[in-house]
Amino acid sequence: MFDSVVANKATVDMLTRAVGEGRLPHALIIEGASGSGRHTIAFSIASALAGGDAETEHRMRDGLCPDVRLIGCADGRKTIGVETVRELARQAYITSNEFSFRMFIIEDAELMTASAQNAFLKLFEEPPQGVYFVLLCLSASMLLPTVRSRAQLLRTERCRDEDIRRYLIASSQRAATLARDGAAELDRIILSAEGSIGEAMRLLARSGVSEKAREISDGVIRAVTSRSGVAIMVSVSRLSSDRSEAADILELVLDGLRELLFARCCDDGQDGTLPNTSANIGTDLADSLSTRELCECMAAVGETRDRILHNANVRLALTSAALRLRHVMD
């Protein structure tokens, strides 16, 4: 139970007792920085309620358990509106399928509009039997006081470097290999993560990205800067249908576009090479796009990466991204 949670001992101890004694609050707010373990804690709570089976927790994370729902901004939106909460409220009264409970995990809860948060109050005040709500946010202060007062607040904590190292080596073959043959690189990853497990995992994944993945990401960057709609569609179609691989490549594309934006804004008169690309893609390509276009392309790529990581259909998400990138060039 809660074996996947790194550090956060006080929180884990409290949750273990609450679940074991049947006293888990129906509403929780988990506050912490991105990559600090908020999602892991939330899904671990659901897994504990279901009996603590690791396989079940994996299915929950993959969106394969209808009784555990991860909810965020609808496609293309910047906020979580009242209609989303109203639909959630309707679903909350539907009888559970697999378990004796239902859980709704709201990520980026600080993006809920005031109307959406107010709609939540009735659910908090009169929660359906066996239904739990877990709100994930950067800071509880970004939520309405009335919402905060009706939920128990949990705060994630910064992980110690030794805890991150132990977790990476235990969960990743690449980390174990680096610990044996490339300790300096593993040390750099852990130091750069600044206490964030999520960031450490992201940096570890990027450090092991294949040359093929970098070649594909380079192709997307070249296609975007060429302003060719056909080239964009072709280059994006080369991305893998594997969720993790596609997200990694989109992260590389995002890094490349970010470097182009930096080069355009700084414009120091010196051409350079983007640091995260395999081919010699020069920063002079920044002149191909306006600052606005670069920002819109970054938004399209970043939002697509997030959608894929949050269980959207990979191929549909990539096709949508390609169309958005084409639209930027119109």
pLDDT of residue 283: 56
Quick one: which of 28, 134, 65 has its CA closest to 311? 65
Q: Taking 70 as the threshold, does the pLDDT of residue 223 lie above it?
A: yes
Residues 273-324 have pLDDT tens digits of 454 554 445 556 777 888 889 889 999 998 998 888 887 889 999 999 999 9
Q: Are 127 and 27 in contact, with CB atoms under 8 Å apart?
A: yes
**CA angle at residue 40 from 59 to 3, to 5 degrees?**
85
Q: Work out the percent of the chain whose per-residue pLDDT is above 70.
A: 92
DSSP state of 135: E
Mean of pLDDT values over 86-105? 92
DSSP state of 130: T
Average pLDDT, the chain: 86
Mean of pLDDT values over 190-217? 82
For residues 40 and 29, give the distance between their C-alpha atoms in angstroms, rounded to a whole number: 14
The pLDDT confidence band at residue 268, using thresholds 50, 70 and 90, is very low
pLDDT of residue 237: 92
Range from 52-56, 90-94, 325-329 carrying the lowest mean pLDDT: 52-56
For residues 239 and 205, give the distance between their C-alpha atoms in angstroms, rounded to a whole number: 16
Q: Taking 60 as the threshold, does the pLDDT of residue 269 lie above it?
A: no
Residues 119-170 have pLDDT tens digits of 988 888 888 999 999 999 999 999 999 999 999 999 998 888 988 998 888 8
Residues 80-91 have pLDDT tens digits of 999 999 999 999
Instruction: Please enumerate in sequence order all residues whose Cβ is within 8 A of that of 178, keeping only pairs 6 or more positions apart, or say none.
Output: 185, 186, 189, 207
pLDDT of residue 152: 94
Q: Quick count: other Cβ atoms within 10 Å of Cβ 120?
A: 26
DSSP string, 62-123: TT--TTEEEE-PPTT-SSB-HHHHHHHHHHHTSPPSSSS-EEEEETTGGGB-HHHHHHHHHH
pLDDT of residue 282: 56
Mean of pLDDT values over 108-112? 92
Range from 47-56, 204-213, 273-282 carrying the lowest mean pLDDT: 273-282
Q: Are 5 and 12 in contact, with CB atoms under 8 Å apart?
A: yes
Q: Taking 70 as the threshold, does the pLDDT of residue 266 lie above it?
A: no
The pLDDT confidence band at residue 36, using thresholds 50, 70 and 90, is confident
